[in-house]
Amino acid sequence: MQSIWLVVMGVSGCGKSSLGQAAAADLGLPLIEGDDFHPPANTEKMRTGTPLTDEDRAGWLARLADELAAHPGGAVLTCSALKRAYRERLRAAVPDLRFAFMEISREDAQSRVEARAGAHIFPGSLVASQFATLESPSGEAGVLTVQAIAPIGQLTADVRRWLEETAR
């Protein structure tokens, strides 16, 4: 397969990190964990239950775009990429970028985020703001929508099959 750049995206609690790790391992690509690139001010805002603004996300998205571009052989990035403008910022760095959108209900996302309370920077109180910000990428070119509650093995296989089909 040719070089692949994939963003595993969706609201908090959808399973981006789990699918990102599995897809990166399956594809033999490095994983870029988007949360690791938030500046301390963003992390503190999230930790205290304050939603991030477009301005808060601008520098973070620029860093993620640079990280993607720094991997000429491809990479898997986990990133919420909630708005089309955010996805376009990442696409500008890597024109062949693909997105796996992990679609999940508000209730399931809320339950998952609350289950990991204390172990993650993102509190359950911010789940509603994620859904309010989300501009679904379904229908955009280069996007695969998967059901986040499916087993990780199935999701990984679906992503691989889709990437192989779109590489033809």
* Contact criterion met (CB below 8 Å) for 80 and 11: yes
Q: Domains plus CATH for the chain? A: 4-166 (3.40.50.300)
- Give the separation between CA 69 and CA 80, rounded to whole angstroms: 18
pLDDT tens digit string along 81-106? 999 999 999 999 998 999 999 999 99
pLDDT tens digit string along 117-147? 655 566 567 888 899 999 999 999 999 999 9
- Mean pLDDT calculated for residue range 12-20: 94
- Mean pLDDT calculated for residue range 11-38: 96
* Contact criterion met (CB below 8 Å) for 8 and 148: no
- Give the separation between CA 142 and CA 87, rounded to whole angstroms: 11
Name the pLDDT band for 113 (thresholds 50, 70, 90): confident
What pLDDT score was predicted for residue 22?
98
Nearest to 9 by CA among 144, 158, 160, 107: 144
User: Residue 153 corresponds to which tokens in the numbers above?
Assistant: 């093995």
